[in-house]
């Protein structure tokens, strides 16, 4: 019971921090939108693995060190969930993460949030929803971090949304899960292009954009830590850098 109370208090504290941040914009090193796929191809077990991976990542010492290594020692991050073209929702509002305490609060808010949707897969919808979210704080880098396990099958073409976002000064990176588990409720799957190729050609874009592809949701926690470190540190990469696999050592 005490631990549950502490978790509830943490979420309340996060809401207060978020409200204060919106009232007084800060200069941060990075504005980061985490766009998480919750379409029907992601079952409940996989959803939990994603959620735990994101929550734990913001308590990881290497991620916190990357934040501290930047000039302003803080980033602003928000997490959205998305499915079909009309299904996107902010799950955790813009939050300034600068240290272990703020990272823990952000992670706890992720853990507490219920799943938002089931549905089709609209990568374009996720991008279009994310772009207007920027501007709560001042930064020189704006990044959308799209994670997903399926190609765009709802809404306008993903490449069109990508191109418009890049024109607005936003970089889009991708984390794709090469998931071979069948979609719940589907007897047969349509033939689709390889997901990593689809993201490389239609989703990622902007200065230093990159893609990480993993084999399954069990690898998600390790992959997201490595991805966040690269994004937060602003490590230089060749345009369209494609990391075909990331294995835990």
- 223 φ, ψ to 5°? -65, -40
How far is Cα 71 from Cα 153, in angstroms, rounded to an integer? 40
Enter the tokens of residue 33.
């939108």
> Is residue 243 over pLDDT 50?
no
CA distance 50 to 151: 18
Question: Could you tell me which residues are beta bridge partners of residue 144?
Answer: 33, 172
In terms of CATH architecture, what is 2-243?
3-Layer(aba) Sandwich (3.40)
Average pLDDT, the chain: 85
Q: CA 109 from chain center: how many Å?
A: 14
Phi, psi of 194 (to 5 degrees): -55, 135
Per-residue pLDDT reduced to its tens digit, 182-193: 444 443 345 567
The tens digit of pLDDT for each residue in 105-164 reads 999 999 999 998 888 999 999 999 999 999 999 999 999 999 999 999 999 999 999 999
pLDDT in tens, 20-72: 444 568 999 999 999 999 999 898 888 998 999 999 999 999 999 999 999 99
């Amino acid at each position: 019971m005490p631990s549950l109370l502490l978790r509830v208090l943490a979420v309340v504290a996060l809401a207060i921090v978020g409200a204060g941040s919106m009232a007084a914009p800060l200069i941060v090193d990075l504005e980061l939108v985490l766009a998480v796929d919750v379409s029907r191809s992601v079952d409940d077990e996989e959803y939990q693995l994603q959620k735990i991976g994101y929550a734990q990542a913001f308590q990881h010492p290497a991620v916190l060190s990357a934040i501290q290594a930047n000039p302003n020692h803080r980033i602003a991050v928000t997490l959205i969930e998305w499915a079909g073209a009309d299904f996107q929702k902010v799950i955790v509002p813009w939050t300034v993460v600068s240290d272990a305490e703020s990272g823990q609060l952000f992670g706890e808010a992720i853990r507490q949030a219920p799943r938002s949707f089931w549905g089709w897969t609209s990568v374009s919808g996720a991008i279009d929803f994310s772009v207007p979210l920027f501007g709560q704080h001042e930064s020189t880098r704006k990044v959308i971090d799209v994670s997903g396990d399926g190609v765009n099958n709802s809404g306008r073409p993903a490449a069109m949304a990508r191109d418009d976002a890049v024109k607005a000064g936003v970089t889009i990176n991708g984390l794709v899960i090469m998931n071979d588990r069948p979609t719940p409720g589907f007897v047969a799957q349509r033939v689709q292009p390889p997901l990593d190729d689809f993201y490389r050609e239609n989703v990622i874009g902007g200065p230093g954009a990159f893609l990480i592809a993993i084999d399954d949701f069990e690898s998600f926690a390790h992959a997201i830590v490595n991805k966040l470190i690269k994004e937060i540190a602003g490590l230089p990469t060749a345009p369209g850098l494609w990391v075909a696999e990331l294995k835990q050592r």
